[in-house]
Structure 1
Amino acid sequence: MEIKGILFDKDGTLLKFNELWIPIANEVIEELLESIGYKENEALKEKLCDSIGLRNGKIDEKGYLASGTSLDIATAFKRVLPKDMPHLHHWLSERLLHKTRENIENVKPVSNLNLLFSTLNDKDIIVGIATSDDYEITKLCLQQLGIDNAVQFIGTADLYKKKPDSEVVEEFCKKFRLKREEVIIVGDTVIDMQLAKNSNARYGIGVMSGIGSYKELSQLAHFVIPSVDYLIEPNDMFIWELKNIT
């Protein structure tokens, strides 16, 4: 069956993860500590970092910073904070958007996305995004990457159930009248590959440009490639067209 649609994860798949999210996470945590009067508390800062999978400047591929939503991160923070913050999720969402604007120069593509998306358009492939991020942050990042006009569907965690729930794939298929077997999921974490499995998408393709390890991705992915550049072979064929996978 012909492939007609691709849903891409955003962070680590289309844009470089560490350059953007490690600085933002540290800045937000520092602001949070200051807002509750614990500005110089390094022990609490370490606990907050650890709660979302940020340890010694490195990202845990299974942590909330890697593939969780803003609500997941807020919930993790609440478990650690010494005082209750009833509106923490709202505060966090606003700060993440603000910090993304402040750090917009760190929104860097993993490869030549304009060429890739132009090629996908020429091949009549419908392109969508399935991310754990919020809508406004996602739009901002896509604009900075210069591909916002090439993306026909944006599925975010504040619009649909979070990955790996299949709702985002179902809505993508419904909007463009696609069958699930005509859709591919591309992402850098095991959550993306679980999304492909849960939604019965044709293929789940893992990319090594983000934070996911080959060991984890290869357990569920049909293909594991260095980056989205490798979706299309030098002979102008898609990678799945060259492989006999059933």
Structure 2
Amino acid sequence: MAEIKGILFDKDGTLVDFNATWLGVADFMAMDASEGDRWKADRLLAAAGYDFATKRFKPDSIFASGTNMDVVELWFPRLSDEDQMLAVARFNEITSVQGSAMAVALPGIVETLGVLHRKSYRLGVATNDSTTGAEKTLLTLGVAQLFDAAYGYDAVANPKPAPDTILAFSDLTGLRPAAIAMVGDNRHDLE
């Protein structure tokens, strides 16, 4: 740990309880996408990785690790490029407003972030949510002032698992990439 000077956190599943936060948001998105048809919405949720038996999203599923663009491509495979961008914008709005409003912090995370900040670690967020969604969630949790930056999938050319967020954080902080730890809950965070 002596060489680690910065820590990038995935947001969902690492700072916030993924299922407690996102089940309601995902359901809202699916109902919106299916124009209120419960049966269709449930099919969309299942396709995105929701397991109705366990009432949880499967690890590494599209909804657990993908971007809003990934969800749009899955749910609306035949949209024109223009309609696809409109759907992504709609989902970005839903996830940033609903996701931040419904954010449930993992137990002890707020205190832990305070300790890390006092120990002079440079803190950042690298998420496949939107940047606005990440920033609003940090405000909701009351920890935004502890972070140097939040990088959503829309803040970099290539979202996780590409190294773009680590390189952007390195450029911002002046830290070498090898001095930055990535903390996450999915395989793509490790990658």
Contact persistence 2:72–2:84 (CA under 8 A): yes
Moved more, 97-106 or 19-28: 97-106
Rate the CA distance shift 1:163–1:107 in 2: closer, same or farther, 3 A.
same
Rate the CA distance shift 1:102–1:186 in 2: closer, same or farther, 3 A.
closer
Unaligned runs of 5+ in 1: 195-246
Shift of 1:73: 0.6
Tell me what 1:71 maps to: 69
Shift of 1:26: 1.1
Shift of 1:154: 1.1
Residues 121-200 of structure 1 correspond to what in structure 2 (within 5 A)? 121-160=117-156, 161-194=158-191
Unaligned runs of 5+ in 2: none
Residues 21-32 of structure 1 correspond to what in structure 2 (within 5 A)? 21-32=22-33
- Provide the C-alpha distance between the structure 1 equivalents of 2:3 and 2:95, rounded to a whole number of angstroms: 41
Letter in 2 for 1:138: A
Q: CA RMSD in A?
A: 2.0
Tell me what 1:11 maps to: 12
| Structure with higher RCO (Cα < 8 A, 6+ apart) | 2
Q: Which runs of 4+ in 1 moved over 6 A?
A: none
Letter in 2 for 1:22: L
- Provide the C-alpha distance between the structure 2 equivalents of 1:176 and 1:111, rounded to a whole number of angstroms: 28
- Provide the C-alpha distance between the structure 2 equivalents of 1:99 and 1:185, rounded to a whole number of angstroms: 23
- Provide the C-alpha distance between the structure 1 equivalents of 2:57 and 2:159, rounded to a whole number of angstroms: 20
Shift of 1:96: 4.6
- Provide the C-alpha distance between the structure 1 equivalents of 2:172 and 2:38, rounded to a whole number of angstroms: 49
- Would you say how many aligned residue pairs link Structure 1 and Structure 2? 186
- Provide the C-alpha distance between the structure 1 equivalents of 2:95 and 2:152, rounded to a whole number of angstroms: 18
Shift of 1:111: 2.3
Rate the CA distance shift 1:174–1:100 in 2: closer, same or farther, 3 A.
closer
Letter in 2 for 1:163: K
Shift of 1:12: 0.7
Shift of 1:54: 1.4
Cα deviation per residue 1:206-234 (whole Å; 9 max; x = unaligned)?
A: xxxxxxxxxxxxxxxxxxxxxxxxxxxxx
Contact persistence 1:70–1:89 (CA under 8 A): no
Equivalent position to 1:110, from 98, 106, 109: 106
Tell me what 2:44 maps to: 48
- Provide the C-alpha distance between the structure 2 equivalents of 1:102 and 1:68, rounded to a whole number of angstroms: 17
From the CA coordinates, give the structure whose radius of gyration is larger: 1
Shift of 1:17: 0.8
Rate the CA distance shift 1:21–1:114 in 2: closer, same or farther, 3 A.
closer
Letter in 1 for 2:173: F
The TM-score normalised by the length of structure 2 is 0.87
Rate the CA distance shift 1:61–1:144 in 2: closer, same or farther, 3 A.
same
Letter in 1 for 2:164: E
- Provide the C-alpha distance between the structure 1 equivalents of 2:160 and 2:175, rounded to a whole number of angstroms: 19
Contact persistence 1:24–1:96 (CA under 8 A): no
Shift of 1:59: 0.7
The TM-score normalised by the length of structure 1 is 0.69
Shift of 1:102: 4.5
Secondary structure in structure 1 of the residue aligned to 2:76: helix
Rate the CA distance shift 1:121–1:45 in 2: closer, same or farther, 3 A.
closer
Tell me what 2:57 maps to: 59
Letter in 2 for 1:124: S
